[in-house]
Structure 1
Amino acid sequence: MCKNVVLIPLKSSVDPAMQKSCKPAMLGRMWQASSRAFSLDHWPSHRFGCCQWQKRQQPSKYYILYRWIIFIAVLAINIASFACQRIPVKYHGLKVELNYFKWFIYLTNWGFMLIAVQAALALGVVYYYKNDRNLNLTYDEDDVPVPMSRRKRTPILCRVYWLTQNVATDLAFVISLVYWALVYDPEIHEINAINLLVHGGNSAIMLCELAVTAHPIRMAHAMYGAGAGLAYGLFSAFYWAVGGTDRLGQAAIYPTLDWNKPAAAFGFVALCAVVLVMAHGVATCLAVVRLRLAKRLYAKRAQSDRLTLPTH
């Protein structure tokens, strides 16, 4: 029975040629998503010049005042840190002459100079958008379906500022942590105003920046802070190789970064890179919390405005 029936295999519902063409398309979308995450483009870019807690598209006068205060304060701390150098009072080793230019070999001072640079760039961004009369954007990047191809590139000034702010934030958190946990020696170091400002005030300033600024923090940008940490590690190795010493004549800039013990020095640099990534994760979480609080606040204000009866 049914001897003459021929079974014909069913074809796949998806053409093999189509399957092959889907793979490059999927890889292309993955590449675009990853490249966008690592890039320094953000739309709308006027967010770089605004405070998170304002409604206007252009920088408010209070935010401009804030930017001037931060810039002047950070610049003054940098100048005071450089000008007020001295051999620690508690130091009783061999007599050494103070070399002011060795101020530039310390990661602490690299980090605080970077805070000053990002403050200056932020001030420039504020005035860039303050003078822009063509702003007509009142929505966030994720709230409107504008194709990526139609979005304008973020200005180079904003991209440089964003990069600098990311690295300055990561370095500030790690410098404060590493200094008080591993570097601070009560028998040598003094606890004075400048020491507290450059090893604690740095993190306080960047926390304030995270709370006030309107632009986001992307987790993928952690690579920039980690790269800065590795760059300082390479600098310290080169400085040691050419015979450089710290301000007290020691071969290592920091006791925990002694290249006479390369294994320990490499381990410390790698540890710092990992901690920098973790610090960036903390900054990203704080930025997300700030954004959600602001959206909730604006939603409550909008609801109260709708329920308010007219007075005329």
Structure 2
Amino acid sequence: MKTIRQEFRKSQFNFKYDKPQDFAVWAWQIDREKISGYFIFYRFVTAAFFLSVLVANGSISTTPTYFFIYLTNLGFIIQTLHLVVSIAIPIELVLQKANNEAADGFKWTLLDRFSWFLYNVTNLLSIAISVIYWFALFTPGSGLSAMNFLVHGFNSIMSICDILVSGRPCRLMHFYHPLVVILAYIAFSSIYWAAGGVNSNGNSYIYPVLDWDNLGLTVPFVTIGLFIALPVVHTLLWSLHKLRDYLLRSRIKRKFMAKSVTDGQDNPVYEL
């Protein structure tokens, strides 16, 4: 309960954070000051892969005019941007060390804040896109292409894997980050409909669940999504971060307890 109460402090609403290195290391790293070359390589590979998929998806689209109206594509663009920006974070800290700017600790920069925002948006948005597609839009037996799986399934897999392997934190109060983006898209879909816009099939809506001619479907969907589904998903993602940190602390504690028994020394305290 103490952990949950701490999440609702006013300070948890902003972007202040005193451990920038958590954004540039593996989750299981004990030495949080060391930037791993393998971690930078991981960032390069994932960013390059998503960038390649994004370019391929755009190039094979039979209706490129409508590419940017779909939340799936916009979400994948945001996720790709997040992964690209994430490359810069460990490199930034390496440069701070090289230039002797980290003598009193790594600097928390605007780039770090922007990266955190993208991370929060990507995690929730990717899950939301996958759930909506597979449970509300996908027609069983209609076939599934590799690209369809990548943009509607692998996006969420990547987000979950990134949570587990990276050391980034998550705050309950940061729910407003993805919420702002989703509200903006809902507003866009209504404006697009009011202006007479159509989707790639000529329908007067972008998605059937956002058909503003059918308020009996759209209003309950939006209401339940905003006030129930999205908060629940964000809470589950926050819980996953906490579970990751708990398991890692337990692992580190067991490791050093075993070492202290072997060495005949007191077990030192290590903070993750």
- TM class by shorter chain equals 0.7 to 0.9
CA distance in 2, matches of 1:51, 1:42: 18
Question: Aligned with 1:179: secondary structure?
Answer: helix
Structure 2 residue 98 is matched with structure 1 residue 122 = no
Q: Does 1:106 align with 2:70?
A: yes
**Residue 278, structure 1, aligned to residue 242, structure 2:** no
Cα distance between partner residues in 2 of 1:137 and 1:74: 36
Q: How does 1:200-215 map to 2 (within 5 A)?
A: 200-215=153-168
Structure 1 segment 1-312 matched on structure 2, within 5 A: 34-56=9-31, 57-86=33-62, 99-133=63-97, 134-135=101-102, 154-186=108-140, 190-274=143-227, 275-309=229-263
CA distance in 1, matches of 2:52, 2:143: 20
| TM-score for the superposition, normalised by structure 2 | 0.86
| One-letter amino acid matched to 2:252 | Y
C-alpha distance in structure 2 between counterparts of 1:240 and 1:298, whole Å: 54
Q: Deviations over 1:127-167 (max 9, x none)?
A: 111222254689xxxxxxxxxxxxx9731111111111101
Shift of 1:211: 0.3
Taking structure 1 as the reference length, the TM-score comes to: 0.76
- Structure with bigger helix share is 2
Note if contact 1:229-1:276 (Cα within 8 Å) is conserved in structure 2.
no
Larger mean Cα displacement after TM superposition, 38-47 or 103-112: 38-47
Deviation readout 1:236-282 (Å, 9 max, x if unpaired): 00111111111111111111110112353233222222322211111
Stretch of structure 1 that moved more, 225-234 or 191-200? 225-234
* Cα distance in 1 for residues equivalent to 2:255 and 2:95: 28
The runs of 5 or more residues in structure 2 that have no matched partner are 265-272
Q: Deviations over 1:83-112 (max 9, x none)?
A: 1223xxxxxxxxxxxx30311111111111
Q: What is the CA–CA distance in structure 2 between the aligned matches of 1:155 and 1:261, rounded to whole Å?
A: 46
Q: Deviations over 1:145-204 (max 9, x none)?
A: xxxxxxx973111111111110110011111111111111247x5401000111110100
Structure 1 segments unaligned to the other structure (5+ residues): 1-29, 87-98, 139-151
> Within 1, Cα distance between the matches of 2:44 and 2:18?
25
Alpha-carbon distance, 1:73 to partner: 1.0
Number of equivalences: 253
Residues 208, 41 of structure 1: CA spacing in aligned structure 2 closer, same or farther, 3 A cutoff? same
- Report the Cα offset of residue 309 of structure 1: 4.9
2:268 corresponds in structure 1 to none
> Which region of structure 1 is more displaced relative to structure 2, 220-229 or 242-251?
220-229
* AA aligned opposite 2:213: N
State the alpha-carbon separation in 1 of the partners of residues 253 and 207 from structure 2. Answer: 50
- Contact 1:68–1:123, Cα closer than 8 Å, also in 2: yes
**Which has the higher Rg, Structure 1 or Structure 2?**
1
1:42 Cα deviation (Å)?
A: 1.3
Aligned identity (percent) is 27
CA RMSD across the alignment: 2.2
Question: Alpha-carbon deviations, 1:202-231, whole Å to 9, x = none?
Answer: 100000110011121111111222222111
Q: Whole-Å Cα distance in 2 between the matches of residues 180 and 171 of structure 1?
A: 14
